[in-house]
Amino acid sequence: DIQMTQSPSAVSASVGDRVTITCRASQGIGNYLAWFQQKPGKVPKRLIYDASTLQSGVPSRFSGTGSGTEFTLTISSLQPEDSAVYYCLQHTTYPHTFGQGTKVEIK
């Protein structure tokens, strides 16, 4: 099975800061990587698919890069509404696997 190691587990940053979250796959997954945002009590929302394609309607301050085994999600200028837990997902093979999640808090 492919393991997804996500870091950091939590980050606290100020409004306007740049925040970067990383996911590392235990083996190559091409670009079959998605990023999700989940706010408390809400359904996960996909932000990025195919590692770098922004989901329609998602603000352009979110971006994704990477391929193979190293992937990053960047929030270029953190906003109060970005407080949430973020997950990566590899869907190149079964079982699909999520990262452990990164909690983003606003200072």
Partner 1 sequence: EVQLLESGGGLVQPGGSLRLSCVASGFTFKNYVMNWVRQAPGKGLEWVSAISGSSGSSYYADSVKGRFTVSRDNSKNTVFLHMTRLTGEDSALYYCARPPGLGVWGQGTTVIVSS
- Minimum CB separation of residue 26 from partner 1 in Å reads 15
Q: Using the rule CB under 8 A, is 71 a contact of partner 1?
A: no
Q: Work out the burial of residue 69: count CB atoms within 10 Å of its CB; fewer than 13 is exposed, 13-18 middle, 19 or more buried.
A: middle
Nearest approach, Cβ of residue 80 and partner 1 (Å): 23
Say whether residue 11 binds partner 1 (CB under 8 A): no
Q: Which amino acid is at 55?
A: Q
Residues 40-69 that bind partner 1 (CB under 8 A): 43-44, 46, 49-50, 55
Residue bearing tokens 């945002």: 37
Which residues of this chain interact with partner 1, rule CB under 8 A? 1, 32, 34, 36, 38, 43-44, 46, 49-50, 55, 85, 87, 89, 91, 94-101
